[in-house]
Chain A
Amino acid sequence: MVEIKNIDDVLNKIEEMHQSLRLSDEIFPLISDLFLFVKEIIPLMLEVNSFMKDSSSKIPTASQNINSVSKATEMAAHDVMDRLDTISEQLDSLSGRLKDEGASEESLAKVDEISSEAGEIIFAFQFQDITTQQLEHVNRILEAIYEKFISFFQSSLKLKEKSVLGKDVVEALENEVEEKNASKRQEFNEKTEDKMHHGGISQDAIDKFFK
């Protein structure tokens, strides 16, 4: 069997088939057209496949980052609420002291107003639960897309194994697409790079570099 290395080899193969089978002029354009369609569609599918490989590897990191955002906002919210609780306690204590000292109604009302404002701020932290739920939704979508990508990728591998000719054709096209996609892949990787890189190195370890 003739080795297939590129698209031209595929078309030559069709021509060979044409010669050997002595296909009629009516059938040949149909088959040729079909192969031209395949020639167009396979690189496109391989590009999709290549994109799936690149993007699916990034989804777990993106998903982890979303979880980290939820955790970080929760911790920050609790930190602020702790401080607000302390302020409220101090205001209650101040209010009691002002009453004992016979302070004016106006002063007491002002303390109550500030205390009430502090309570309103605590209530405003409902946004943390709401945004967390929205992020969880995004995460579920990402996970579903990731599973779909993996499933598509596995299907494409099975497709390649179905026939010897199919395997050769797909591999020849893969090599071509791989070269053409190199710059696109680099662009995609740059756009989707995780620029946070949190947790990799401690401050102590950084400081050691400056000694």
Chain B
Amino acid sequence: MEDKKILFVEDSPTMRRIIANSLKKLGIKDATEAENGVDALEKIQKEEFDLILTDWNMPEMNGQELVEHIRKMEKYKTVPILMITTRGMEDDVMTAIKSGVNGYMVKPFTPELLKKKMIEIFAV
């Protein structure tokens, strides 16, 4: 897992810092951050990532729209996407799944849960 290249998309500077900190603790050396869906799409077109972590509620382009865009891209059809959001209703989870996410976590989450989800995703 340590050699994986990860993109995390978050509009909150506090959350970006927390996620960067967690990934560092998990031994991830190559993590890139994006502030919203538009920023993420620009980065995705320039580089290739093994996993994308994304928030849902963001300005410019939200996480759900981002996932739909990503899934239309040939090279990203199967790249795992984990959504991390404050939206905790069943309908939200179903919408995210329909859009193409591989995992879903509701904030606040624990570092243990993030680790578990990432292990599950990379094990598939």
A119 proximity list for chain B (CB < 8 A): 21, 25, 111
A129's contact among B14, B22, B111, by CB below 8 Å, is which? B14
Contact across chains for A126 and B18 when beta carbons are under 8 A apart: yes
**Cβ of A122 and Cβ of B18 under 8 Å apart?**
yes
Q: Are A123 and B13 in contact, with the CB atoms below 8 A? A: no
- Shortest distance between the CB of B26 and any CB in chain A (Å): 11
Nearest A-chain residue to B15, judged by Cβ: A129
- A125, B86: Cβ atoms closer than 8 Å: no
A54 on the B face (CB < 8 A): no
Contact A122 B21 (CB under 8 A): yes
CB pair B13–A74 under 8 Å, yes or no, is yes
Measured in the bound complex, the distance between the Cα atoms of B86 and A119 in whole Å is 21
User: In the complex, which of the residues A74, A124, A133 has the most CB atoms of chain B within 10 Å of its own CB atom?
Assistant: A133
Evaluate contact between A78 and B13: CB separation under 8 angstroms.
Answer: yes
Q: Is the CB of B13 within 8 A of A126?
A: no
A123 touches B111 (CB 8 A): yes
B110: Cβ under 8 A from any A Cβ: yes
Number of interface residues of A (CB under 8 A): 17
Q: Which residues of B are interface residues toward A (Cβ below 8 A)?
A: 12-15, 17-18, 21-22, 25, 57, 86, 107-111
Task: Select one of A81, A124, A132 contacting B12, CB under 8 A.
Answer: A132
Whether A74 contacts B14 in the complex (CB less than 8 A), given A119-B21, A130-B107, A130-B108, comes out as yes
A35 within 8 A of B: no
A74 to B16 CA separation, bound complex (whole angstroms): 12
Interface majority SS on B: helix, strand, loop or mixed?
helix
Chain A positions within 8 Å of B21 at CB level:
119, 122
CB distance from A12 to the nearest CB of B (A): 60
Nearest CB in chain A to that of B25: its residue? A119
Given contact pairs A123-B22, A123-B110, A128 touches B86 in the complex (Cβ within 8 A): no
Q: Are B86 and A130 in contact (CB under 8 A)?
A: yes
Give the residue name and chain of the A residue nearest to B22 (CB): A123
Cα–Cα, bound, A125→B111 (Å): 12
How many angstroms between the C-alpha atoms of A130 and B18 in the bound complex?
Answer: 13
A154 to chain B, nearest CB (A): 30
Q: Which residues of A contact B107 (CB under 8 A)?
A: 126, 129-130
A126 to B21, CA, bound (A): 12
Cβ B18 vs Cβ A125 within 8 A: yes
What would 11 A/B residue contacts be, using CB atoms closer than 8 Å? A74-B13, A74-B14, A123-B18, A123-B108, A125-B18, A126-B108, A127-B108, A128-B12, A128-B14, A129-B86, A129-B107
